[in-house]
């Protein structure tokens, strides 16, 4: 075989091998729940999901995905740096155990919260072109939301109701949904409170002081109410007693007046009966008695001035129109 033929044959074999290798280099096998971003001449071209795909060698290339973030090493309290570069984007549920986050509670207590976060990439293209180093970005957002929520809670609420902080997942979804990422849950694994005994002791003292103030206030209020009710009842009883006394006095006076009037009526009847037997007018007799009583009252009054008149003026005092005489002669009878 001639030398030229051998050289041509070798070159042909080399070209065929290069073509075969180039064709094989274009094949990409993507596993289930993974995604590969393909760029052509530096621009987005396609997204390869699970299956066998082919790209044009030396024209199309995979988009690299870089990450770097700190995590807590499982079973320890140590923090390690996770970093790497890959062209395979996992669309499975990912869980990251971030380092403990220091927060300040509403009652100014310093607390360390050990949180884990679960997320899922729902749109690989949107994620890889919207943010760089997604885990680190999620850790910073988680810290911001957890600190903001913890500042609204007391240390007791954080310890006893740590599930309240889990609501951060819903708030974070509003922020990361534009990156093609979904937050599945946020869980607080552990609450570490340095100097917790001092904080709880101060809270307990404050609660006891507040309770004492409330009890004293209620006691004073009840005492004031009882005293006012006693004064009110006493006033009511005094008023009732005074009313009853006035009623009794009025009844006594009325009874006395009735008795006096009854006695006078009986006396008048007896006098009238006796005078009628003698032929004397009882009316004139009674009027004379009333006249004498009235004169006695007038004369007994210290403001009354008495003047004596001669007998010649006696006739002037006679008032026959009324049937009465101020003075009367011995020969004049009723």
Separation of CA 134 from chain center: 41
Whole-number average pLDDT of the chain: 78
* Dist. CA 266–CA 68, nearest whole Å: 129
pLDDT given for residue 329 in this prediction: 46
b vs e for 29-58, b when ≥16 Cβ sit within 10 Å of the residue's Cβ? ebeeebbbbbbeeeeebebbeeeebebeee
Decide if 36 contacts 30 (C-beta within 8 A): yes
pLDDT given for residue 198 in this prediction: 66
- Arithmetic mean of pLDDT, 63-87: 77
- Arithmetic mean of pLDDT, 188-206: 70
Is pLDDT larger for residue 201 or for residue 13? 13
pLDDT at 279 over 90: no
pLDDT given for residue 259 in this prediction: 79
- Angstrom distances, CA of residue 117 to CA of 70, 98, 162, 164, 258: 13, 8, 15, 15, 103
Non-local (6+) Cβ contacts of 136 within 8 A are 67, 68, 69
pLDDT given for residue 230 in this prediction: 77
- Arithmetic mean of pLDDT, 307-323: 53
* Dist. CA 45–CA 122, nearest whole Å: 18
pTM, full prediction: 0.53
**CA geometry: angle at 87 spanning 84 and 91, to 5°?**
95
Collapsing DSSP to helix, strand or coil, 56 comes out as coil
pLDDT at 314 over 70: no
CATH 3.30.479.30 fits 64-194, yes or no: yes
- Closest listed residue to residue 160, CA positions, set 118, 188, 201: 188
Is pLDDT larger for residue 325 or for residue 3? 3
- Closest listed residue to residue 69, CA positions, set 113, 101, 94, 99: 99
The number of CA neighbours under 13 Å toward the Cβ of 135 is: 22
Instruction: Give the chain's count of helices (H) and strands (E).
Output: 8, 14
pLDDT given for residue 334 in this prediction: 43
pLDDT confidence bin for 333, thresholds 50/70/90? very low
Instruction: For residue 168, count other CB atoms closer than 10 A to its CB.
Output: 24
Question: What DSSP string describes 210-245?
Answer: HHHHHHHHHHHHHHHHHHHHHHHHHHHHHHHHHHHH
pLDDT given for residue 315 in this prediction: 53
* Percentage, residues of the chain above pLDDT 70: 78
Non-local (6+) Cβ contacts of 125 within 8 A are 37, 44, 47, 180
Non-local (6+) Cβ contacts of 152 within 8 A are 106
* Dist. CA 142–CA 138, nearest whole Å: 6
pLDDT at 40 over 80: yes
**Residue written as token pair 């041509």:** 8
Low-confidence winner among 4-13, 232-241, 260-269, 271-280 (lowest mean pLDDT) = 271-280
Low-confidence winner among 29-43, 140-154, 202-216 (lowest mean pLDDT) = 202-216
Is pLDDT larger for residue 187 or for residue 156? 187
Instruction: For residue 169, count other CB atoms closer than 10 A to its CB.
Output: 19
Q: What is the pLDDT of residues 105-145, one digit of tens each?
A: 887 878 888 888 899 999 999 999 988 888 888 988 888 88
pLDDT given for residue 38 in this prediction: 93
Delimit the CATH 3.30.479.30 region(s) of the chain: 64-194
pLDDT at 205 over 80: no
pLDDT given for residue 154 in this prediction: 80
| Token representation of residue 251 | 């009844």
| Token representation of residue 145 | 């939301």
The phi, psi pair for 60, rounded to 5°, reads -95, 145
């Amino acid at each position: 075989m001639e030398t030229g033929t051998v050289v041509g044959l070798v070159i042909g074999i080399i070209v065929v091998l290069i073509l075969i290798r180039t064709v094989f280099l274009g094949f990409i096998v993507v596993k289930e729940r993974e995604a590969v971003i393909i760029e052509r001449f530096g621009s987005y071209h396609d997204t390869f999901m699970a299956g066998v795909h082919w790209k044009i060698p030396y024209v199309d290339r995979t988009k690299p995905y870089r990450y770097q973030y700190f995590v807590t090493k499982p079973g320890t309290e140590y923090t390690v740096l996770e970093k790497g570069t890959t062209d395979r984007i996992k669309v499975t549920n990912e869980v990251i155990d971030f380092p403990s986050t220091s927060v300040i509670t509403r009652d100014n207590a310093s607390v360390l919260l050990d949180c884990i976060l679960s997320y899922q990439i729902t749109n690989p293209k949107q994620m890889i072109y919207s943010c760089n180093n997604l885990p680190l970005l999620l850790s910073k957002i988680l810290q911001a939301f957890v600190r903001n929520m913890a500042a609204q809670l007391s240390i007791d609420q954080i310890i006893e109701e740590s599930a309240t902080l889990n609501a951060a997942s819903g708030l974070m979804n509003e922020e990361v949904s534009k990156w093609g990422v979904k937050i599945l849950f946020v869980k607080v694994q552990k609450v570490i409170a340095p100097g917790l005994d001092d904080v709880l002791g101060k809270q307990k003292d404050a609660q006891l002081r507040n309770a004492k103030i409330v009890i004293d206030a209620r006691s004073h209020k009840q005492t004031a109410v009882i005293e006012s009710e006693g004064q009110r009842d006493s006033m009511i009883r005094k008023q009732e007693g005074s009313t009853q006394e006035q009623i009794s006095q009025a009844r006594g006076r009325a009874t006395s007046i009735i008795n006096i009037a009854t006695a006078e009526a009986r006396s008048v009847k007896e006098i009238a009966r006796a005078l009628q037997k003698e032929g004397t007018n009882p009316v004139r007799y009674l009027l004379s008695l009333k006249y004498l009583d009235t004169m006695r009252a007038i004369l007994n009054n210290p403001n009354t001035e008495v003047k004596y008149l001669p007998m010649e003026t006696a006739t002037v005092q006679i008032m026959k129109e009324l049937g009465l005489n101020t003075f009367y002669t011995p020969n004049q009878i009723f």
